[in-house]
């Protein structure tokens, strides 16, 4: 829209794909990760071992999941979900949720005593299963639809084959005409 000085301005609201409702974990991670890292720094500041030395497997799992999360977000941002098939889009969204949440669960588990860690992972697992359940239901529905389409095609082909096989060579009106004139 032109203004009084002749410069056009765009009054359309700007949308950012990365912070949409399809990726609700992104704003959450933006808040939680720095807080978790600061709390871990506070917890391990007076220890003779760093968090990396004290819990190398958990830290490696958190970092690996965060890297997979970042890769999935990058793919989603680059190709946008609308350009991907629904199955790929759902799988990408699930990967983002799964890896981001597992990274948070791994870091959060380090703030609690060793006996509480399984509970943190159990909570994470239960939350992830809800998301995976939705993806599996969508995939099963898609497989069911594809199977039904294939079966309908097969049955239509069988029916056409049966009709062609049992059809008389000449139409019935032609047979009547031939028998009457012979």
Residues spanned by the domain of 100? 21-148
Q: Which tokens go with 164?
A: 């062609």
126 lies in some domain: yes
Q: Is residue 175 part of a domain?
A: no
Could you please report the per-residue DSSP string of 100-155? HHHHHHHHHHTTS-GGGHHHHHHHHHHHHHHHHHHHHHHHHHHHHHHHHHHHHHHH
Instruction: Report the distance separating Cα 119 and Cα 85, nearest Å.
Output: 36
For the chain, report the end-to-end CA distance as a whole number of angstroms.
87
Compute φ and ψ for 82, nearest 5 degrees.
-70, -20
121 has a pLDDT exceeding 60: yes
pLDDT at site 161: 79
The torsion of the CA quartet 115, 120, 123, 126, rounded to 10 degrees, works out to -90
For residue 179, being part of any structural domain is answered with no
- Smallest CA-to-CA distance from 134 within 87, 83, 101, 102 is with 87
Per the structure, how many domains does the chain have?
Answer: 1
CB atoms within 10 A of CB 129: 11
For residues 6 and 83, give the distance between their C-alpha atoms in angstroms, rounded to a whole number.
37
Find the range with the poorest average confidence among 81-85, 150-154, 172-176.
Answer: 172-176
Closest CA to 98 of 64, 57, 143: 64
Kindly report, residue by residue over 47-67, the tens digit of the pLDDT.
888 888 888 999 999 999 999
Kindly state the tokens that stand for 151. Answer: 């079966």
- Does the residue 6 lie in any domain? no
Q: In angstroms, rounded to a whole number, what is the distance separating the alpha carbons of residues 79 and 60?
A: 28
Is 16 within the bounds of a domain?
no
- Residue 30 placed within a domain: yes
Pick left, alpha or beta for residue 6 (phi over 0 → left; psi -120 to 50 → alpha; otherwise beta).
left
Average pLDDT over residues 31-53: 88
Is 147 within 8 Å of 139 (Cβ atoms)? no
Assign 46 a pLDDT band (cuts: 50, 70, 90). confident
Is residue 162 in some structural domain? Answer: no
Q: Does residue 50 form part of some domain?
A: yes
- Its pTM stands at 0.59
């Amino acid at each position: 829209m032109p203004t009084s000085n002749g410069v056009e301005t765009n009054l359309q609201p700007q949308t950012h794909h990365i912070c949409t409702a399809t990726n609700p974990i992104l704003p959450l991670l933006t808040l939680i990760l720095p807080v978790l890292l600061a709390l871990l720094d506070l917890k391990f500041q007076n220890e003779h071992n760093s968090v990396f030395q004290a819990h190398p497997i958990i830290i490696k799992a958190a970092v690996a999941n965060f890297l997979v999360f970042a890769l999935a977000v990058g793919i989603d941002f680059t190709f946008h979900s609308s350009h991907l098939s629904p199955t790929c889009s759902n799988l990408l969204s699930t990967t983002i949720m799964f890896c981001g949440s597992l990274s948070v669960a791994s870091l959060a588990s380090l703030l609690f005593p060793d006996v509480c860690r399984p509970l943190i992972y159990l909570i994470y697992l239960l939350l992830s299963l809800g998301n995976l359940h939705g993806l599996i239901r969508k995939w099963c529905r898609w497989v069911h639809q594809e199977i039904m389409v294939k079966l309908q095609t097969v049955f239509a082909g069988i029916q056409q084959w049966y009709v062609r096989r049992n059809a008389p060579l000449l139409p019935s009106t032609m047979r009547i005409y031939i028998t009457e004139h012979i």
